[in-house]
Chains A and B, each alone.
Chain A
Amino acid sequence: MRICLFLAALLVGACSAEPGPALVATEVVVTRPMPGMGMSAAYLSLTNNSDRIVSISRVTSAQFESVELHESTVEDGVARMRAVPKLEIPAGATVTLQRGGKHLMLMRPTGPADTLALHFYDDEDLILTVDATFQSELKNSSTN
């Protein structure tokens, strides 16, 4: 009986020692759409804690009709923005979506909101949901 209890305890222990989430989001910044503007941007760092490549092929949010992964570049003095079909994060690596680089373009808000949820998919598999609060980084603070 004692042996059975011991084995059961080991089994429970093994089950409770689950690995952490494969994909972790940090430094999340989502800019609030400017008045009258139908779009905004989201920036964040994504860390892949798994031992496999994580691919993000689609991002959705109920607060926007469309979310696309874009990349801004400035080459030879010309600013460009292009859609990125897929974001791949190598095992153990962190990919940062930041101003002037890769970012999420959020288009056509579905209504006024202070918070939003971003759902990251690999094809049809939901691999991460990020809850965030809109930030009005761009202050109207002209002094003259």
Chain B
Amino acid sequence: MGPKNFIVAIILAIALATGIFVATRLQAPAALKTAFVLPAPMPLPEFALVDQDGDAVTAASFRDHWHLVFFGFTHCPDICPTTLQILATARNELAAAGEEPLPRIVLVSVDPERDTPTLIGKYVDYFGEHNLGITGNLDELRKLTSGLGIYFEKQPGDGADYSVDHSAAVLLINPNGEFHALFSGPHSIEDYVHDIPLIMADQ
């Protein structure tokens, strides 16, 4: 190969590398807006709670479906219904866009003292008929929350009128029953509609 051909070969190699680089960049998945995907999905801790029908809920109950899990309570008039409304609306928009699978929305009560299965059932039903409400024994609840880094603490109040501080995050659980991604908030319908299909497609 003469010097001229060598230079041409170098130029072609650079052009080819540049083309591959540009093509790779163009095909790269869009960036997530707010979700944080865990580098390694984390299995749910072992716990034993109940759903709105009084049926047992364990870590195994989260298998085979995607779940969006929020920790709140039914006597919360502001942040909890607003968050559940955002999740429900985002799910409806994903359904309207033909996205599959759709995540099931879950409210885990951090106030099992007041949130009976019947009460949490009425609450979650208000936001959609396929939603799951979870409540039960406080010690079992702590097994779940502490294993996921979720905080909650009952505040002093007047009799039955008390509030509960709680983590504002929403967790995405994958069909293997693993904590897969975190939406730490503030929550927006647009962000969920954008990020959820990307996360599921990358699974």
Q: Which of A20-28, A50-58, A77-85, A120-128 has 4 or more CB atoms under 8 Å from chain B?
A: A77-85
Q: Is the CB of A80 within 8 A of B163?
A: yes
Bound together, the chains give a CA A141 to CA B96 distance in angstroms of 11
Interface residues of A (CB under 8 A from B): 31, 34-41, 66, 70, 72, 74, 77-82, 99-100, 103, 105-107, 137-138, 140-144
Q: Is the CB of A141 within 8 A of B76?
A: no
Bound together, the chains give a CA A91 to CA B81 distance in angstroms of 33
Q: Is the CB of A79 within 8 A of B168?
A: yes
List, in ascending order, chain A residues with CB within 8 A of B91's CB.
Answer: 142, 144
The 8 Å CB contact of B123, one of A36, A82, A141, A143, is A36
The smallest C-beta distance from A142 to any residue of chain B, in angstroms, reads 3
Q: Is the CB of B102 within 8 A of A79?
A: no
Bound together, the chains give a CA A78 to CA B150 distance in angstroms of 9
Given contact pairs A100-B78, A138-B126, A140-B129, a sample of 16 additional A-B residue pairs in the complex whose CB atoms are under 8 Å apart = A34-B122, A34-B126, A36-B119, A40-B77, A41-B81, A74-B79, A77-B168, A77-B169, A78-B151, A79-B79, A80-B163, A99-B78, A100-B79, A137-B85, A138-B81, A144-B95
Q: Is the CB of A78 within 8 A of B92?
A: no
Q: Is the CB of A39 within 8 A of B168?
A: no
The smallest C-beta distance from A78 to any residue of chain B, in angstroms, reads 6
**Which residues from 106 to 163 on chain B have a C-beta closer than 8 Å to any C-beta of chain A?**
118-119, 122-123, 125-131, 151, 161, 163
List, in ascending order, chain B residues with CB within 8 A of A82's CB.
Answer: 163
- Size of the chain B interface, CB-CB below 8 angstroms: 39
Bound together, the chains give a CA A58 to CA B63 distance in angstroms of 49
Residue of A at shortest CB range from B119? A36
Most chain B CB within 10 A, of A40, A78, A144, is at: A144
Q: Is B166 an interface residue (CB 8 A)?
A: yes
The smallest C-beta distance from B83 to any residue of chain A, in angstroms, reads 9
Q: Is the CB of B122 within 8 A of A78?
A: no
The smallest C-beta distance from B58 to any residue of chain A, in angstroms, reads 25
**Given A36-B119, A141-B92, also A103-B77 (CB < 8 A):** yes
Q: Is the CB of B81 within 8 A of A31?
A: yes
List, in ascending order, chain B residues with CB within 8 A of A80's CB.
Answer: 163, 165
The smallest C-beta distance from B108 to any residue of chain A, in angstroms, reads 14
The 8 Å CB contact of A79, one of B96, B122, B166, is B166
The smallest C-beta distance from B200 to any residue of chain A, in angstroms, reads 15
The smallest C-beta distance from A43 to any residue of chain B, in angstroms, reads 9
Q: Is B194 an interface residue (CB 8 A)?
A: no
Bound together, the chains give a CA A141 to CA B89 distance in angstroms of 8
